Chains A and B, each alone.
Chain A
Amino acid sequence: MMAIATAVGLSAHSGARNEWVVDCPASELAPRLRRLVEELTLVDLFATTAKGSRPRLTAVLDAPGDPAWLVVHCDLPEAAFPSLSAVSHAASWYERDILEMHKVMPQGHPAPYPLRQGKSGEPGPKRAGGAAGAGDDSGQRPKQRPAVTGQGVFELPLGPVRSGPQESQGFSFFSGGEDIVVTDITLGFKFRSVERIAEGRAPADVILLAERIAASSCFANALAFSRAVERVIGAEVTPSEQFTRTLLAELERAYNHLGVIGRLAEATGLQVAAAQFSLMRERALRASGRLTGHRYLRGALRIGGTEVVPPEGDRVWLRSEVEAWRSQALRLRHLLEGTSTFVDRLDTTAYLDPGYAAEHNLVGPVGRASGIDSDLRRDHPYGAYSAVEFVVPLLSLGDAKARYTVHVMELEQTLGVLLQLLDRWPHAQPPAPLPKLRSGSALGWAEAPGGATVHLVTLDEGGRVARWRARPPAVVNWHPFAHACASGNNLTDFPVIEASFGLASAEFDR
């Protein structure tokens, strides 16, 4: 990582452990950052603005096989920067987000349309204030995405209020009757500005906000946030608390994988199968409730450890539960894969080719079903993951069937990890006193059920959160959704497509 930065002509200094930080002069941003984005994997790109100060662009980069991260900061002299979208498709949505929320123009962006829907069709909500020097940019950028036209093409809108108890989100299907020609996603309906609400608060309270980014990645986001704070202050977590964190993170993966598979069964009309997975999911949620007092593991984490460590009685009980889930999951998998109405609906549906997935740096089961071999638990180990064995399922077929298979294989791996953790549980040690909170900045990360979640946290002198950027997996994985919808699918395939991606709107609209 260091070598690449030097080769590009930037001198990196070390931040927290396994983290290199580079300050890039604005005049050299275009050639240097473009080269880094070409050589490395772009994990996150965002701007920070404050009233009266210059906007700052930050990129987080990762290299395969290197446990270190690279964070590039650049103070921009004006509210604009050269777009990276020409070299990396992954940068496209980040740059549109930067333009929309901070009025910082990615110069040369091929399609700088608003990402979010605002009230009455205007572009989405803005950050109050905006960058210094950001004037009225209405002349610079288009307000609306281009219309889709053609003989017999009509638009079928869906949402934001959906048919069942689902999240608010808008979709527009352009179709000539059956085939989906183009899909347009409208995000931003539920944008709550979580990161901004956190500013000025104590990290212990921001953990609770991180849990409320999305219930589907509740524990993973809280874990990533608290690990970032721990890396700033140098806190150590005792082995039994590391095991508890890993156990709860895997429990969260288990009930989310069960949810995705259950929704797939429902989307293909298999009511009994959906009910069976719902039963299993409820059991996993109740187990979470028994261990932590909360069905979605909220309030279980604290900076420097966990609020609860399951006593031996609970661990013995959980072990027998997980054994039961494992044999039940195997039986149901066998039944599902022997049901032709299930397999036929998934086969070749919503194909996402590995090339596209690689260009967009997709994460999680969506990426792993299209040949992206990444998993933070293995690539950037944390918690107790080095104490257990697991494999990261990898397929390259890229259709809904492949995504289902990755989910079902990951569920089996997760249950295996839970058993290993329970068998190798360390003796409890008294927690070390927490170091005093101080100023600094560090990355924190965790593998959420939907993929990598990466947080960059900056604390001020008083130890309060000055800036917090969360990048949950759905921020990346919503991008290919529209593309996958339109690749030869019918309107009736949509429930299967949506279920197979298993994306949370709340993670994007945080």
Chain B
Amino acid sequence: MSRWILRGLRSGIRTTRFPSPTPPYEEGASSTVRLQWQRLSAPDALAAAQMCPSGAIQAQGTEVEGELTYDAGRCIMCGRCARHLPQVFLPVKDGRVAVRQRSSLVTRVGWSAANRPLPLELGRAAEEVRQRAVRIFRHSLHIRHVDAGSCNGCESELQMLTGPYADLHRLGIFFTPTPRHADVLLVTGVVTVNMERPLMETYAAMPEPKLVIAAGVCAVSGGSFAGGPVTRGPVDRLLPVDVHIPGCPPTPQAMLHGLLLAMNRAEDRPGPEPEEVADGA
């Protein structure tokens, strides 16, 4: 046993300093796609809506005038738009992607022949954020996780949270086996017909006050399985959702950000820059 202890000590400290902004996000993969709306042109917008397989990018209108909607809550991160239109769709590694309001994940941009692109809705957190996040959760949070119909990608990333890299215990966050001890219900996957009852019973068994986190695009919007024949749809159709974490699956840092947001220890996802084009993360 002592050999294991030595082995562990020899590895040193590998834990990320997230949510501290330094060092740079080192996970390699991107957590979300940011719409550089200032560089949007009408042909690009129409082409992007054509190639998007998940319906996250939708465009209405013509070359002369129209409107593009990018919904990060439906984006499965296939990377097509970023590969073909890199000047507009920028993959970002920043893990701060969670939001309190579903509408904050949506960006709407209008275009017309006469003017530059016009931001209609920039996905910033609305002013009247529902203050269900309770002060007492600021220090410690116990999570009851329910897989409502996932592909096990979200579970895989949740399991990485307890590992040495993310180490969510350092933030005062723990998984709990019983809903009776839970402060937050973390739901992954689209809610299937067969998981509706276990999900609702788990929620009912939790004491007040309680929060709900929808993790991953399947839980946020139905993702790839939206409108499927044996699914009930996204979590917010059944339960009041306090935090939405986009991603397919969300990276461990995105998961951490969502949990910190539920504890009121983080700010919402940074929206697209209102004026200048960001150089990327």
Decide whether A and B assemble into one complex: yes
Binding site for B on A (CB under 8 A): 116-120, 124-125, 128, 160-168, 188-194, 196-197, 204-205, 208-209, 212-216, 218, 259, 270, 272-273, 275-276, 278-279, 281-282, 285-290, 293-296, 298-299, 307, 331-332, 335, 338-339, 504-506, 509
Given contacts A286-B26, A287-B28, are A212 and B53 in contact (CB under 8 A)? no
What is the distance, in angstroms, from A275's C-beta to the closest C-beta of chain B? 5
Q: Which residues of B contact A509 (CB under 8 A)?
A: 149
Q: Which residues of B contact A125 (CB under 8 A)?
A: 193-194, 230
A125-B194 Cα distance, complex, nearest whole Å: 8
CB closest residue in chain A, given B186: A165
Q: Is the CB of B225 within 8 A of A161?
A: no
Which residues in window 132-167 of B have CB below 8 A to A? Answer: 144-153, 155-165
CB closest residue in chain B, given A122: B194
What is the distance, in angstroms, from B215's C-beta to the closest C-beta of chain A? 10
B54, B80, B148, B193, most chain A CB atoms within 10 A: B193
A213-B144 Cα distance, complex, nearest whole Å: 24
Q: Is the CB of B77 within 8 A of A286?
A: no
Q: Is the CB of B153 within 8 A of A294?
A: no
Quick one: which of A194, A278, A307, A332 contacts B165, CB cutoff 8 A?
A: A278
The verdict on B190 contacting chain A, using a C-beta distance below 8 Å, is yes
Given contacts A188-B194, A193-B229, A282-B160, are A299 and B79 in contact (CB under 8 A)? yes
Given contacts A161-B146, A298-B77, are A205 and B153 in contact (CB under 8 A)? no
CB closest residue in chain A, given B165: A282
CB closest residue in chain B, given A187: B194
* Range class of the B interface residue count: 35 or more
Given contacts A208-B224, A209-B224, are A215 and B53 in contact (CB under 8 A)? no
Quick one: which of A161, A192, A275, A286 contacts B28, CB cutoff 8 A?
A: A286
The verdict on B103 contacting chain A, using a C-beta distance below 8 Å, is no
What is the distance, in angstroms, from B121's C-beta to the closest C-beta of chain A? 27
Given contacts A128-B229, A192-B231, are A339 and B196 in contact (CB under 8 A)? no
Q: Is the CB of A215 within 8 A of B152?
A: yes
The verdict on B258 contacting chain A, using a C-beta distance below 8 Å, is no
Q: Which residues of B contact A188 (CB under 8 A)?
A: 194
A259-B4 Cα distance, complex, nearest whole Å: 19
Known: A167-B147, A192-B230; 15 extra A-B contacts, CB below 8 A, are A118-B193, A160-B195, A165-B147, A165-B158, A165-B186, A168-B148, A193-B228, A193-B229, A208-B54, A212-B151, A214-B152, A259-B156, A275-B8, A285-B160, A293-B30
Binding site for A on B (CB under 8 A): 1, 3-5, 7-8, 11, 14, 26-30, 53-54, 76-80, 82-83, 91, 144-153, 155-165, 175, 177, 186, 189-190, 192-198, 202, 223-225, 228-231, 248-249, 251
Given contacts A167-B147, A272-B7, A278-B165, are A197 and B228 in contact (CB under 8 A)? yes
Given contacts A192-B230, A218-B153, A299-B79, are A160 and B4 in contact (CB under 8 A)? no
A120-B91 Cα distance, complex, nearest whole Å: 43
Given contacts A191-B194, A295-B27, are A215 and B231 in contact (CB under 8 A)? no
Q: Is the CB of B192 within 8 A of A190?
A: yes
Quick one: which of A120, A193, A204, A299 contacts B77, CB cutoff 8 A?
A: A299
What is the distance, in angstroms, from B148's C-beta to the closest C-beta of chain A? 7
Q: Which residues of B contact A276 (CB under 8 A)?
A: 7-8, 11
What is the distance, in angstroms, from A465's C-beta to the closest C-beta of chain B? 13
CB closest residue in chain A, given B52: A205
What is the distance, in angstroms, from B150's C-beta to the closest C-beta of chain A? 7
Residue pairs across A and B with Cβ atoms less than 8 A apart, 29 shown, are A119-B196, A161-B147, A165-B147, A165-B159, A166-B147, A166-B155, A189-B198, A190-B150, A190-B189, A191-B194, A192-B231, A197-B228, A197-B229, A212-B76, A213-B151, A215-B156, A259-B156, A275-B163, A282-B165, A285-B160, A286-B28, A288-B29, A294-B29, A295-B29, A295-B249, A296-B156, A298-B77, A331-B7, A509-B149
Q: Is the CB of A290 within 8 A of B28?
A: yes
A16-B153 Cα distance, complex, nearest whole Å: 33
What is the distance, in angstroms, from B86's C-beta to the closest C-beta of chain A? 12
What is the distance, in angstroms, from B76's C-beta to the closest C-beta of chain A? 7
Q: Is the CB of B152 within 8 A of A504?
A: yes
Q: Is the CB of A293 within 8 A of B164?
A: no
Q: Which residues of A contact B14 (CB under 8 A)?
A: 279
Q: Is the CB of A307 within 8 A of B151?
A: no
A190-B149 Cα distance, complex, nearest whole Å: 4
CB closest residue in chain B, given A332: B7
What is the distance, in angstroms, from A245's C-beta to the closest C-beta of chain B? 17
A281-B161 Cα distance, complex, nearest whole Å: 12
Q: Is the CB of B79 within 8 A of A168?
A: no
What is the distance, in angstroms, from B36's C-beta to the closest C-beta of chain A? 17
Q: Which residues of B contact A192 (CB under 8 A)?
A: 149, 190, 192, 225, 228, 230-231
Q: Which residues of A contact B163 (CB under 8 A)?
A: 275, 278-279, 281-282
Given contacts A118-B194, A168-B148, are A215 and B165 in contact (CB under 8 A)? no
Quick one: which of A160, A193, A335, A505 contacts B3, CB cutoff 8 A?
A: A335
